Structure 1
Amino acid sequence: MRFTRLFIGLLLVLVSIWVIVGEQMGGASANAMVNARLATLRAPIAGKVTMPDLALGATVRRSEELASVSDSRVDRIRLNDLVLEQRDARIERDRLRDVITETRNMATTISVRAARFERSNIRQAEIRLNHALERLALLEERARESSRARVAALEPPLAIEDPVRRARPDTGLAPNLPRDVPSDLALAVEWAREEVGVRRSALSAARDGVFVANDYSDSPYAGQRLAELRARLDGFEAAYRAQLSQISALDKRIVEERISVNHLTEAPLISMLDGRLWEVLAGHGERVERGQDILRLLDCGNVIVTASVSESVYNRLKPGDAARFRLSGTGEVFHATVERLAGAGAATIYRNLAVAPGPKHLERYDVAVSVPGLSDSEAGYCPVGRTGRVFFEGRPLDRLRGLL
């Protein structure tokens, strides 16, 4: 019995020593803290800040407007110049439209006059041609009567020949007339035939819209004026279309410039994440410059745990290793994964994190682990700032802690 008690006591002492040594020698962090990335909202324009009364730590949602910056002295010179150009372009458009209307009315009036002149010219040519044909018919009939009178007088065939009649075949005058027609009558018939040809040519030209007079052909003054007006009308219509295109381009540029001015006049500050309000850097009514920091938001969707470990533990770790994080005050244990090994003096990597490291933390080796189930734990939403410890190796009392 005595040896049994001694054996049990020795066994308990050995177990206690094993537990103490195992707990102390297991790979664990000296301290650990729940951390998260910070997002900064900066002023997109220079102006005055309008901000409601926001409490630090207040919950913010994605796409929520938190504040705004307005500038009543925004530069509108370019917009005003474009509006002035648009007004001048519209005035020119209206002027061209009125000129086109007047030119069309004038062209219509002159077109009516030209049509009347053309009809009158055709009738005049027809009348002259008819009279010329009548004169030609009369002269030809007179020539035939003269020839018949000479035949009736039974003029001797071998009589002294008329010198004019003897010369007529050589000159070629009045080829369709009898040979014994007097030369003056033959010349009259030839002149009448020439006039008929000229009148027929004039009538044909008149029907084609050409005015023939005094050995030159051209359109009448009304036709010339109508052609000139139509050419000017084409030019006015081309200028009018160009003016419409210019106005359309100005309208688009004015819309774009107004959008730009509106953006420069007032710009909202929109939350780009779900999280909490961490810091207010500019208050309501304060004037800020473009790019100045206004608000800092805590990104609760990307929570990590930063811890410091000894050199011996640090050298055994690598990214992707499994770990466990125990939250102080609750005893909750979460599965974790090593994400980053920053080494000693890793102060620069905390510039964009919510909780900065202390001097003792920087003397050791920095390790960051991800804890997926931390945001949904009993610690509440976004437990940034909570402390605990990270364990990288198993310990003797882990099963007992699991039961508790």
Structure 2
Amino acid sequence: MRLTRLVLGLILILVSIWVILGEQLGGTSANAMVNARLATLRSPIAGTVTMPDLALGATIRPGEELASVNDPHVDQIRLNDLVLEWQYAQAERDRLREVIDETAQAIETLSVRAARFGRGKTREVEIRLAHARARLALLERQANDGAARVAALEPELPQEPQGTGTGSEATTDAAPEILLPDLPTGLAIALEHAREEVGVLQSALSAARDGVFLVDGVNDSPFASQRLAELRARNDGFEAAYRAQVRQVRALASRITEERVSVNRLGEAPLAAGFEGRLWEVLAHDGENLQRGEPVLRLLNCESLIVTGSVSESVFNALRPGDGAQFRLSGSGEVFEGTVERLAGAGAASLYDTLAVAAGREHLERYDVAVSVPGLRDLDGGACPVGRTGRLFFENRPLDWLRGLL
């Protein structure tokens, strides 16, 4: 019995030693803290900052406007030049429109005059042709009457006499020459002239009906028609110039709109958060005049929670990115699963320049490790537990089964 108690005692001592050594000498960090990245809002323009009264640590939402910078002396020279150019373009467009309207009125007036002249000229040729045809008919009738009288006075030709005698050749008497009277020269010339005039007038009438006038001069169209053709050609040029001017006015209006957007953007710039987080630090005061790029606010990005810790060299050399880890909060003892993300090692001070909580001297004397712990986002209803401390464990420990029951 005594031996049994001795063995059991020895076993308990060994188990206790194993538990103590397993808990204390396992892969664990000396200290660990919940950390997050910081974002600095800077002034995009030079101007005066307007900022409401914000409490440090206040919760911010994505898209929430936190401050604004106004520049009352924004450069508008380019915008003014574009507006002036646009006004000149509008004036030229209106001038071309007026010229086109006046030219259209002149074209309409000359069209009426040309049409009236064409109708009158065609009617004139028709009248002259009718009288020419009447004169030709009279002359032809007179010529026919003269030809009939000549035919009535024409004598019959004598019979050729028959030769007599016993000679081998018959002798014939030569027929007397008879001269037929012709038309009088004056009548023939008048008849030919009448026929020529009828032909010319017929051709002129056909051309006049097509808008070409061949009588009373060498011009194929009257002055009104020539002027009308000239105005129509010039009006086509005015129309083309007007369309080009309209396109230029539209292009300038579009450029003015873009320039106004640019001026408004340079004249007033709101500063808004792009993520969910907390106000960490105020770097400027309400009403302060800032230059472009100067910091205004520093925000804590609660969407980028990580746990940073320091480990010994032996533990650090055994770790690899992607290895599993556990984070146990101090005080509550809650345990969260995580994944090793970064192994910075010694001399990681510069990595904490963009993090909310800087590393202490003792931390930097060891080897830095960063672990992603997604479960921290839901801790305390999403209260962003930056600064909470605890310990990181990278190996299984003897009492993990007991912690699971708790």
Shift of 1:152: 3.9
- Is 2:186 the counterpart of 1:161? no
Query: 1:392/1:185 Cα in 2 relative to 1: closer, same or farther (>3 Å)?
Result: same
Shift of 1:216: 2.3
- Is 2:134 the counterpart of 1:116? no
Distance 1:110 1:397 in 2: 112
Shift of 1:21: 2.9
Shift of 1:105: 1.2
Distance 2:154 2:326 in 1: 157
Where in structure 2 are the equivalents of 1:166-185 lying within 5 Å? 180-185=182-187
Shift of 1:118: 0.6
Match of 2:86 in 1: 86
Match of 1:251 in 2: 253
Among residues 294, 299, 314, which one is paired with 1:292 in the alignment?
A: 294
Q: Which deviates more from structure 2 when the two are superposed, residues 379-388 or residues 149-158?
A: 149-158
Match of 1:31 in 2: 31
- Is 2:357 the counterpart of 1:355? yes
Match of 1:332 in 2: 334
Cα deviation per residue 1:253-306 (whole Å; 9 max; x = unaligned)? Answer: 111111111111111112110111112222211222222222221111221110
Cα deviation per residue 1:201-231 (whole Å; 9 max; x = unaligned)? Answer: 1111111111213562410111111111111
Q: TM-score, normalised by structure 1?
A: 0.89
Query: 1:129/1:2 Cα in 2 relative to 1: closer, same or farther (>3 Å)?
Result: closer
Gaps of 5+ in 2: 158-175
Shift of 1:6: 5.2
Report if the CA contact (8 A) 2:345-2:369 is conserved.
yes
Match of 1:190 in 2: 192
Q: What amino acid does structure 2 have at the position aligned with 1:283?
A: H
Instruction: Name the SS of the counterpart of 2:354 in structure 1.
Output: coil
Shift of 1:401: 4.3
Gaps of 5+ in 1: 166-179
- Is 2:107 the counterpart of 1:107? yes
Match of 1:276 in 2: 278
Distance 2:150 2:400 in 1: 161
Q: What amino acid does structure 1 have at the position aligned with 2:72?
A: S
Match of 2:146 in 1: 146
Q: Which deviates more from structure 2 when the two are superposed, residues 206-215 or residues 303-312?
A: 206-215
Shift of 1:403: 4.7
Distance 1:11 1:152 in 2: 178
Distance 1:98 1:379 in 2: 73
Distance 1:205 1:17 in 2: 131
Distance 2:303 2:217 in 1: 100
- Is 2:383 the counterpart of 1:381? yes
Shift of 1:40: 2.1
Distance 1:200 1:2 in 2: 158
Distance 2:222 2:255 in 1: 50
Shift of 1:12: 4.7
Q: Which deviates more from structure 2 when the two are superposed, residues 375-384 or residues 101-110?
A: 375-384
Q: Which deviates more from structure 2 when the two are superposed, residues 153-162 or residues 361-370?
A: 153-162
Query: 1:18/1:142 Cα in 2 relative to 1: closer, same or farther (>3 Å)?
Result: closer
Instruction: Name the SS of the counterpart of 2:378 in structure 1.
Output: coil
Q: What amino acid does structure 2 have at the position aligned with 1:394?
A: N
Among residues 331, 342, 345, which one is paired with 1:343 in the alignment?
A: 345
Q: What amino acid does structure 1 have at the position aligned with 2:280?
A: W
Among residues 289, 305, 318, which one is paired with 2:320 in the alignment?
A: 318
Query: 1:203/1:11 Cα in 2 relative to 1: closer, same or farther (>3 Å)?
Result: closer
Distance 1:215 1:301 in 2: 97
Shift of 1:10: 4.6
Shift of 1:123: 1.0
Match of 2:392 in 1: 390
